[in-house]
Amino acid sequence: MHYLQLGRTGLRVSRLCLGTMNFGPETTEPDSFKIMDRALELGINFFDTADVYGWKKGEGITEQIIGRWWAQGGGRREKTVIATKLYGEMGDWPNTGRLSALWIRRACEGSLRRLQTDYIDLYQMHHVDRNAPWDEIWEAMETLVRQGKVLYVGSSNFAAWHIVQANEAARRRNFLGLVSEQSKYSLLDRMIELEVLPACQAYGVGVIPWSPLAGGKLAGGARGAKEGRRSKDWVQKNLAQFLPQIEKFEELCAELGEKPADVAVAWTLRHPAVTAPIIGPRTMEQLNGAMRTLELKLSDDVVKKLDAIFPGPGGPAPEAYSW
């Protein structure tokens, strides 16, 4: 396993991040335990979750599963760099979601309780809250850091100007600010190349791509899938508009003798702003198979062919849309 510092921090994380969104809804607790044990065996020390995962409002099912796995001991907690998220609604009463100082405090306490730990390595804002002033957000986060309940703060689904605004506000307070951004990024979703990736590089913010397989569409044989996310009706309906591209992509992968999923994830690893794409294995087989991505080096010629199949926005702004 290869390790890289997360953004401008001294924290070293694995080049693959274990996504846990399937734990509970798609993967049983015993199988989730086995997958997490195997991840540590493979050297993956970076796990991502969220308070809303498990998709039963207010229950935090996935965090609970991770907490019970840690409770087994054996150094599991000490070996894991955990990234969890807040923002989503965890109840039906006011102030049970988003980024008020009140909810930041309560959400953190809830995650700590479910995870059965006394600190969160990376606490990520799942979305921007335009109604919460940055001074309010940072004061709440600073308090959690002083209390030792949070070590680093990250964002998810932020626009470039949100990242700039957040870190400039943190700078004025002599606070570290955002050290990571979790963005949707894949061969089929390259919008962040315009401004988010350049902003992250400029501010030393490590990028953690989510859905590097575009909801399973780049995993190979997506049409007619019977299990996992690829079998969902919305994925199958969405697939039709991309089918010509995906067929060309799968033909290229066949020529290379590589699995489409491995090529797709390896492609995200090429960008210098990317720290660790999130892989979300539903089964042990999927986890073990994902290790090939770390060995796969895509030549410039192959990258050009991928660009021809999946043209991005044309590079960073403003050159992408101006002279």
Task: Quick: pLDDT tens for 88-147.
Answer: 999 999 999 999 999 999 999 999 999 999 999 999 999 999 999 999 999 999 999 999
d(CA 188, CA 263): 13
How far apart (Å, rounded) are the C-alpha atoms in residues 190 and 184? 8
Please state, in angstroms and rounded to a whole number, the distance separating the CA atoms of residues 243 and 83. Answer: 34
Res 128: pLDDT: 98
By residue count, the chain amounts to 323
* C-alpha torsion angle, residues 199, 201, 206, 211 (rounded to 10): 60
**Per-residue model confidence (pLDDT) at position 5:** 98
Longest dimension (CA), the chain: 59
Per the structure block, which two tokens stand in for 194?
Answer: 């315009």
Residue 262: name the closest of 287, 228, 296, 224 by CA: 296
**Which pLDDT score is estimated for 212?**
98
Averaged pLDDT in 10-residue chunks for the chain of 323 residues: 97 98 97 98 98 97 98 98 98 97 98 98 98 98 98 98 98 98 98 98 98 95 60 71 96 98 98 97 96 97 98 96 93
Q: Which two tokens stand for residue 120?
A: 């969160």
- Strands 150-156, 120-125: pairing kind: parallel
* Rounded CA separation 87/89 (Å): 7
For the question of whether the overall pTM of this predicted structure is more than 0.75, the answer is: yes
Q: What is the pLDDT of residue 238?
A: 77
Query: Taking a C-beta distance cutoff of 8 angstroms, is the pair 51, 85 a contact?
Result: yes
Helix%, strand%, coil% for the chain, nearest 5: 40, 15, 40
pLDDT at position 239 is: 85
3-309: CATH number? 3.20.20.100
What pLDDT was estimated at residue 226?
61
Catalytic residue among 3, 53, 119, 321: 53
Cβ proximity of 42 and 286 under 8 Å = no
3-class SS letters over 208-237: EEECCCCCCCCCCCCCCCCCCHHHCHHHHH
| Residue bearing tokens 């859905």 | 211
Half-sphere exposure of 122 (CA within 13 A, CB side): 31
Contacts 24+ apart (CB under 8 A), 194-197: 194/160, 194/313, 194/316, 194/317, 194/320, 195/159, 195/160, 195/161, 195/316, 195/317, 196/158, 196/159, 196/160, 196/163, 197/271, 197/273, 197/316
The pLDDT score that the predictor gives to residue 240 is 85
Give the pLDDT confidence of 218-240 residue by residue, as tens digits.
999 865 556 665 556 666 677 88
Distance CA(107)–CA(147), nearest Å, equals 15
Q: Please give the C-alpha separations between residue 119 and each of 1, 79, 81, 83, 115, in angstroms, as whole numbers.
A: 25, 14, 10, 11, 9
Annotated catalytic, 152?
Answer: no
Residue with tokens 């002279």: 323
